[in-house]
């Protein structure tokens, strides 16, 4: 864990009533900056506790949940019960923001919609994450990452025309939605600091993945250039050739739109010598890809990287996670954080995408067990020992029993 440095959001309390990735990751980003994030879970635990990506189940807490829920406290409530709602209302009255990603209509049925919680705390920041929006024809569709990638048009910007579109190897829509939600939460808190006004912030994954493609979609809507895949696996349909991943004699390398004349000189391809970068690289992009690929198999990745870098051509290694973790720049940047977790031992995960000179993000605590902080949270918002005992006896509020 990090040293005792006060986080930049340390005076704020965030209630995280979300599941899976986008919501929990957004709340975690706020916790990384020092906010007190209280994760409100069902008494059986949040959904992600029971679903492990890659089968990485861990000892008590699986890796998926572990990676998305550091810097949080856990309180386990049955929100369908009177006792659970009583606790939630007390929490809302003492909190700055409430974040949820329920299916449309669920928040209202539970009585945790914006209007209901605003009646308890008028300046509450309420963040609602959905798949497609708060209303509209797709209201009931599942907001799942790959489905939204497919709908967004992003898959049609890469790959070969005669092969199926390929989804990203990451939950990219969830991840960017999390970033947008944390950004919007901080902006809404800043507005409240200036005006005293709370508000509802609605974020949907479809809009997020669409606006992420600001440049690409504008090329289509403003430039009227069609999104066209061709016979070779270009890395981007709107970037001139050669642009993509190429095989060498021993592995792969990334090559990004070099000057064609210089490339031709270095790889020995005379047809490139008279090509114009801004016209021929589009007109002959498949041929350029093919001829580049033909020549690159003559040397190793290491040899080509040295040659191209000497001449200022943009090239790079193609890593798997094993190589990434051990890369010298990653190590220098301290991109990963390591800390001891009570049940999972030494944990190593990606750290923080920003560096603050005075108030650095840090791991204050690892992902909690279900209801690990129930007693602490209840006493902190004024419940007496007898009230807590009664709540626990009802089984609608659960606390972790520590041995």
Secondary structure in 3-state letters for 42-69: CCCCCHHHHCCHHHCCCCCCCHHHHHHC
H helical segments located in 119-228:
145-152, 172-195, 205-212, 214-221
Q: How far apart are CA 247 and CA 183, in angstroms?
A: 39
- Which residues pair with residue 347 across a beta bridge? 339
CA distances from 345 to 339, 340, 349 (A): 8, 5, 13
**How does strand 397-398 pair with strand 72-77?**
antiparallel
Rounded to whole angstroms, the Cα distance separating 155 from 149 reads 7
Q: 377, 351 in Cβ contact below 8 A?
A: no
* Alpha-carbon span 127 to 130, nearest angstrom: 10
pLDDT of 4: 63
Q: Give the closest residue to 374 by CA, choosing from 101, 43, 59.
A: 43
**CA-to-CA distance for 228 and 147, rounded, in angstroms?**
21
How many CB atoms lie under 10 A from the CB of residue 175?
17
What strands lie across the sheet with 315-317, from one edge to the other?
243-247, 252-256, 315-317
User: What's the full length of the chain, in residues?
Assistant: 403
Q: Tell me phi and psi for residue 349, to 5 degrees.
A: -140, 165
User: Dihedral of CA 316/321/327/330: which sign?
Assistant: positive
Check residue 403 and give its pLDDT.
44
d(CA 171, CA 173): 6
Distance CA 63, CA 69 (A): 10
Give the closest residue to 287 by CA, choosing from 359, 249, 232, 339: 232
Q: Which residue has the tokens 């986080």?
A: 7
Q: Measured between alpha carbons, how far is residue 131 from residues 191, 306, 340 in Å?
A: 26, 45, 35
DSSP H or E segment with residue 385: helix 385-393
CA atoms within a 13 Å half-sphere pointing along the CA-CB vector of 69: 31
In angstroms, the Cα distances linking 311 to 39, 79, 307, 314, 403 are 52, 63, 7, 9, 64
* CA dist., res. 352 & res. 92, Å (int): 28
Which of 233-237's residues contact partners 24+ apart within 8 Å by CB, and which partners?
Answer: 233/158, 233/159, 233/160, 233/163, 233/289, 234/158, 234/285, 234/289, 235/158, 236/157, 236/158, 237/156, 237/157, 237/158
Q: Which two tokens stand for residue 366?
A: 């690892």
**pLDDT of amino acid 5:** 77
Q: State residue 252 phi and psi, 5-degree precision.
A: -135, 160
Q: How far is the C-alpha of 180 from the C-alpha of 208, rounded, in Å?
A: 7
Taking 50 as the pLDDT cut, the residues of the chain under it are 403
Cα first-last separation, the chain: 23
Q: Domains of the chain by range and CATH?
A: 13-212+337-398 (3.40.50.10540), 243-323 (3.30.1540.10)
Q: Could you tell me the two tokens for 72?
A: 């949080």
């Amino acid at each position: 864990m990090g040293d005792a440095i006060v986080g930049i959001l340390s005076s704020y309390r965030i209630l995280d009533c979300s599941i899976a990735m986008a919501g929990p990751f957004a709340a975690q980003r706020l916790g990384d900056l020092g906010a007190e994030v209280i994760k409100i879970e069902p008494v059986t635990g949040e959904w992600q506790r029971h679903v492990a990506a890659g089968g990485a189940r861990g000892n008590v807490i699986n890796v998926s949940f572990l990676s998305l829920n550091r810097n949080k406290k856990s309180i386990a409530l049955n929100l369908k019960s009177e006792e659970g709602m009583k606790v939630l209302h007390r929490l809302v009255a003492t909190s700055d923001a409430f974040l949820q990603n329920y299916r449309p209509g669920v928040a209202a049925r539970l009585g945790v919609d914006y209007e209901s919680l605003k009646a308890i705390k008028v300046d509450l920041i309420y963040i609602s994450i959905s798949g497609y929006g708060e209303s509209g024809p797709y209201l009931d569709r599942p907001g799942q990452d790959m489905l939204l990638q497919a709908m967004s048009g992003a898959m049609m910007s890469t790959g070969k025309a005669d092969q199926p579109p390929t989804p990203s190897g990451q939950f990219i829509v969830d991840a960017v939605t999390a970033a947008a939600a944390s950004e919007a939460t901080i902006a809404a808190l800043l507005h409240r600091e200036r005006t005293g006004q709370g508000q509802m912030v609605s974020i949907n994954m479809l809009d997020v993945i669409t606006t992420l493609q600001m440049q690409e979609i504008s090329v289509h809507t403003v430039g009227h250039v069609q999104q066209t895949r061709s016979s070779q696996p270009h890395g981007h349909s709107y970037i001139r050739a050669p642009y993509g991943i190429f095989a060498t004699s021993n592995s792969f390398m990334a090559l990004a739109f070099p000057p064609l004349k210089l490339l031709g000189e270095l790889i020995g391809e005379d047809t490139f010598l008279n090509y114009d970068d801004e016209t021929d690289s589009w007109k002959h992009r498949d041929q350029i890809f093919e001829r580049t690929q033909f020549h690159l198999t003559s040397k190793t990745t290491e040899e080509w990287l040295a040659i191209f870098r000497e001449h200022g051509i943009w090239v790079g290694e193609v890593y798997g996670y094993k190589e990434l973790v051990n890369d010298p720049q990653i190590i220098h940047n301290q991109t990963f954080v390591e800390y001891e977790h009570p049940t999972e031992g030494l944990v190593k995960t990606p750290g923080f995408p920003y560096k603050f000179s005075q108030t650095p993000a840090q791991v204050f605590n690892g992902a909690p067990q279900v209801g690990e902080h129930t007693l602490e949270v209840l006493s902190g918002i004024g419940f007496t020992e007898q009230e807590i005992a009664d709540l626990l006896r009802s089984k609608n509020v659960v606390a972790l029993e520590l041995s």
